[in-house]
Structure 1
Amino acid sequence: MALLKSKVKSFLTGLQKDKVRDDSQINKDDIHQMQPTDLPRCRDDPKKTEEIIQEIKDYYFEEGCIDCSQRELESLGPEINMTSLEERIFSLKTRDTAVYRKIYDLVFSNYTAYVQELENVTMLQVSLQDAARTCVNARRSLKSARQGVSHGGLGLLGKHRKRERLHSLLDILKTLKTLQRTDTRLKVLLEVGPEGQLGMGSTCTCDS
């Protein structure tokens, strides 16, 4: 009897260790390994799987150190009937399969969503890189355009100032030329005297 209880406890302890396995270590290969194959009772039947999981006692899902094998041994009582023991073992295997099936479905569905979301994030990163590259090129082009406008504007301003100076210089030259002609004419008038001035005046009148 003690040997039988020891074997039952070893079996239940193995089930418990499998159930408390860290979910963070589950990878893609584990998902395929988790598919239930031995017990077709809940296989490919989500409704049946949910019913079996609902039958599991709440204390199995409590946090902390729970010795599930000890609880099962205590529930067997002092006398063990082989038929009831086999039924209990089959029931525990069925529950174990249902739990694994549920975990498999959850992990697989989340894995698919994770892959899709990862693809979306990758596409977003590529789009952001393209946008950043476009912004950098646009800023460089804008800087070059500003420099071109500044240099061009300074060149136009310099040309305008030169043109204004040339116009002023031409005006001064015209004034000097007019003054020079006037001075020459006055000298001639002074040299010819009053009679000559009248003759020159009539000549200028006729010429005009």
Structure 2
Amino acid sequence: MALVHRKNNRRFQRQAEPEHRINERIRVPEVRLVGDNVEVGVYPIEEARKIAANLELDLVEISPNANPPVCRVVEYKKFLYEKKRKEKEMKANSKQSELKEIRFTANTDDHDFDFKAKHAERFLQEGNKVKAYVQFKGRAIMFKDRGELLLLKFAERLAEVGSLESMPKMEGRRMLAMFAPKVTKKKDSSNKEKEKEKKGEKPKQPAAPKAQPQPANKEGE
């Protein structure tokens, strides 16, 4: 029986295009050149490519909409690594500034209070701000004092990890309070070492030698 060879049905995957136009892919008459070890200025594209090639680096188009486009002489892989690292740092910083909300009611029991307090402590330790509020529904608006006491008790619970930015205040039918993460000043290890060095630099002063008794002069000598 003849063997039937089936064709591979997988779609042909095109090679991913570079994120930026580099080297021969840059097709403009002239570019503004920037980078380390190059003289900043406007160059014909061929001359800019030669400068990058002589430095064994890439010509990377970083501002295609500029007139003329701006190109950087740099190792492309290193350029992408630095770009991704900065984006990651920016993402991490934006994450730290998130605002988390904790909701209470005027009749929140101790178990629910403790559960939400643990969440708030974790949020603050992660560097987030916390907005805690007591929601008043219907006739519960009569118990504003109870809501204020609850938020102050909450502030006392979070005192080690967060600071109350302002006293509880009413906004519509809810009373809220804002908490910011408490910055703990950690003593730098290098400072500790310096302190130890300073202590070590102070040699113990040797004790003053005791005065030796002078022998008595004999008569006639």
TM-score by length of 2: 0.23
Q: TM-score, normalised by structure 1?
A: 0.24
Higher share in helix: 1
RCO comparison, higher one (Cα < 8 Å, 6+): 1
Larger Rg: 1
